[in-house]
Amino acid sequence: MSEVKNFGDTEASKAADVNLGDAPKKAAPVNMIQSLNWALHDAMEADANVIVFGEEIADPEGGGIVKISSGLSTKYGNRVRSTPISEMGFMGAAVGAAVVGFKPVVEIMLMNFVAVCMDQITNHAAKLRFMSGGQTHVPMVIRTMTGSGFQNGGQHSDFLEAWFCHTPGIKVVMPSNPADGYGLLRSAIDDEDPVLFIEHLNNYWTPGAAPERGKKIPLGKARIHRPGKDVTVIGYSRSMLDIPPVVEKLAKEGIDCEVIDLRTVQPMDMDTILTSVKKTGRAVIVHEACRSFGVGAELSSRIHEALFRELKAPVERVASEDCPVPYAPPLEAAYLYTHAELEASIRKTLA
Amino acid sequence: MSMTQPDSKTLVDIYQKMTLIKHSDDRVIGAMKAGRMVMPYYSARGQECIPSAISVQLTDEDYLVTIYRGVHDMLAKGLPPKLLWAELAGKVTGSCKGKGGPMHLTYPSKGCMVTTGVVGASMPIACGLGLAAQLRGESRVTVANFGDGASNIGAFHESLNLAAVWKLPVIFVCQNNRYAEHTAYSKGTSVERIADRAASYNMPGLHVDGNDPIAVYNAAKQAIARARAGEGPTLIEAVTFRFNGHLIGDAGEYIPKPEYERAVKDDPYPRYRNWLVENKHATAADLDAIDASIKQLIDEAEAFAMSSAAPDASEVKRDVYATEIA
């Protein structure tokens, strides 16, 4: 295994790296909304079995609340449908259509609303392949958005990825930038298993390199965002906006962090992670979801199990408080980890 | 609802399916009582008419979704008895390689798409199967089975609404056996007839005697024709009774004795057999021959199941995802 095995292993991740590095940009920056919209258009064009539904996603209803599905219904007609506010009904409909060969992409407007259709996701989409002995399977994508920082309170802001990572049969993808968003969504739609695709409200409007249309990024492959030798800092989704400024600040002091963007949370790219941590001997995991029983706990455990004797410090977790997401801005800020906490955690592994 | 009487051949086909269901059920329970098989088994004894009278009007292309009490639905639709028995016995030769069991029977080549162990969950999935047929311009229909208890869960209401809004070719078949697990119908359901709930979703609601094959046949005929014509879904409520409680081992103490005795006295299976002979649709000898051939099928199915191997432990790594897990 090379030390930076997955660095720039696809054209799309090169494009993402280009935007964050010094090389000239190939195309004008775009945001995640644009790149996901392109991915949906290109997937529908490429495969007539791709169908899209969810609340308010057709053009007469606005093309989605942040317009990610804009233009789809106008171009693809009946394959794109706004649904009643009926998550259990249309999630089950996606399962049924997928069982007979369609590739539904369903939108759950905000991640907390998965709670009203969990049965169809965790008891059916995730398990039909196994329970049928492989006779049926459920190739569908559930797109959903979430994130704190918008005063949306306790039922519109949670990161619940750990629920689904704990359900064998589902894959969980959490992109951090527009180019990854495009390439990962294309692969998620092609995938033969159900994929939960979680988008962060905070990342929607952050500009990044434009994706190369048609270039897919394989699921289950992390991206080395910044090579380094002292501490491995692992993030995904929104935390990939917070990690770079802290890491660059520390770089000025000579602390050289390697930053890994997981991109796919389940399955995790353990090769890339363990190769990096073997080199650095230190790891810090950063996620917006609350700390306890989360992805950070699983990853920390896996690193300790594999590399206990080679670690120079215990693995650190940087995450949100174990409380519902609060409403008042000072409380909401207190809920989320801070850049200072991230910096302190990195320093702690070096102490 | 206009009632037409099917021809004698169809009536005998219904009898054949009912016989297959009844004999298989009797034998499974016998095998469990003798200790040859162990499983959570939800007998449908008493409900044989419903899937039999519906399935004689379906093709292999039509889809079926059912629930944990769904062995009768699956057999009527064409799940081979050998594959059923091997699955119940947890053998690798079962339709699901022994990974699903009685609550997850699946056999797509006969349209047996999903069996769910969750009350109500058959209906949203049926909407998706109906949507698939609609988008592809196919004439196939989807039958979604569920019980009276499921008409009180949200999935029922969401699915009927969605199917009506999208005019999906789905037939919702409520097999009202009067008890939701241990709870009597009137204690858990606000309406006298579940079929009346169809009005809320702007679709026909047909209330029939689920122990009368001709009544079920006619209701299904109307619903299937409507679905195939692209006119949308129908709710059928077929009133019946289950003779063996919620699952085997349930002594049924919550069922008043007179109600149970009346139901058993009205057992639709012998009544239908006698009716066929009395009305000259078949001779007793014809039906005896059917019974004998079914007995042989079940003998073969049981022998196949008992002599088959258990799945290898490595199967826990397979069929979780498309590619085997490390």
Same domain, yes or no: A83 and A114: yes
Q: What are phi and psi of B73, to 5 degrees?
A: -65, -45
Nearest to B161 among A89, A94, A124 (CB): A89
Q: What local confidence, expressed as pLDDT, does residue B325 receive? A: 77
The reply to whether A241 and A125 lie within a common domain is no
Interchain contact A81–B (C-beta under 8 A): yes
- Do A195 and A269 share a domain, yes or no? no
| Residue A147, domain member (yes or no) | yes
Whether A5 has a pLDDT exceeding 90, the answer reads no
Q: Do B121 and A192 touch (CB under 8 A)?
A: no
Residues A85-143: pLDDT tens digits?
Answer: 999 999 999 999 999 999 999 999 999 999 999 999 999 999 999 999 999 999 999 99
Total number of domains in chain B: 1
Spatial distance between the Cα atoms of A186 and B93, rounded to a whole number of angstroms: 37
Question: To 5 degrees, how large is the angle CA B290–CA B47–CA B259?
Answer: 125
- pLDDT of A227 strictly over 70: yes
pLDDT of A18 strictly over 50: no
Q: Are residues A39 and A89 in the same domain?
A: yes
A10 falls in which pLDDT band (50, 70, 90)? very low
The dihedral formed by the CA atoms of B231, B237, B238 and B239, expressed in degrees to the nearest 10: -170
pLDDT (tens digit, 9 = 90+) per residue, A264-318? 999 999 999 999 999 999 999 999 999 999 999 999 999 999 999 999 999 999 9
Which domain, by its residues, includes A191? 11-204
Say whether pLDDT at B17 is over 60. Answer: yes
A199 among known catalytic residues: no
| Domain membership flag for residue A340 | yes
Q: Does A123 touch chain B (CB under 8 A)?
A: yes
Q: Is the same domain home to A254 and A287?
A: yes
> 3-state class of B252 per DSSP?
coil
A171–B contact, CB cutoff 8 A: yes
B1 assigned to some structural domain:
no
Q: Which two tokens stand for residue A49?
A: 């079995």
Identify whether residues A21 and A127 lie together within a single domain. yes
Phi/psi of residue A15, each to 5°?
-60, -40
Burial of B313 (0-12, 13-18, 19+ CB in 10 A): exposed
| DSSP designation for A49 | T
B314 located within any domain: no
In terms of domains, do A191 and A320 share one? no
A4 has pLDDT over 90 = no
Please tell me the distance in Å from B70's CA to the nearest CA on chain A.
15
CATH code at position B46: 3.40.50.970
Judge whether residue A12 has pLDDT over 60: no
| Interfacial A residues in 14-73 facing B (CB < 8 Å) | 51
Task: Give yes or no: residues A67 and A172 share one domain.
Answer: yes
CATH at residue A196 = 3.40.50.970
Asked if residue A76 and residue A125 are part of one domain, the reply reads yes
Q: What percent of chain B has pLDDT over 70?
A: 100
Q: Mean per-residue pLDDT for A202-231? A: 96
Model pLDDT, residue A334:
96
Looking at the domain assignment, is residue B313 inside a domain?
A: no
* The pLDDT value given to residue B3: 87
Q: Known catalytic residue: A124?
A: no
Mutate to test the interface with A, among B92, B93, B312, B319 (most CBs of A within 10 A): B319
pLDDT at residue number A23: 38
A-chain residues within 8 Å CB-CB of B125?
92-93, 95-96, 99, 120, 124
Cα A340 from chain centre: 24
Give the start-end residues of each E strand in B97-224.
112-116, 142-147, 170-176, 179-180, 183-184, 205-209
Q: Give the structural domain span for B213.
A: 8-308
Which of A204, A235, A250 terminates a domain? The answer is A204
Band of pLDDT at residue A27, cut at 50, 70 and 90: low
* Residue A7 pLDDT: 34
pLDDT for B59 equals 98
Instruction: Render A134-188 in DSSP notation, one character per residue.
Output: TS-----EEEEEE-SSSS-GGGS----HHHHHTSTT-EEE---SHHHHHHHHHHH
Band (A177; pLDDT cuts 50, 70, 90): very high
Q: Give domain status of residue A3, yes or no.
A: no
pLDDT band at B204 (very low <50, low <70, confident <90, very high): very high
Q: Domain for residue A213, yes or no? A: no
- The answer to whether the Cβ–Cβ distance between A99 and B318 falls below 8 Å is no
Which pTM does this prediction carry? Answer: 0.94
Mean pLDDT along residues B150-165: 98
Same domain? A140 vs A21: yes
Is B246 domain-assigned? yes
Indicate the number of domains in chain A: 2
pLDDT at A162 over 50: yes
What is residue B250's predicted lDDT score, i.e. its pLDDT?
87
Mean pLDDT of chain A: 93
Q: CATH code at A261?
A: 3.40.50.920
Q: What is the mean pLDDT of residues A197-214?
A: 95
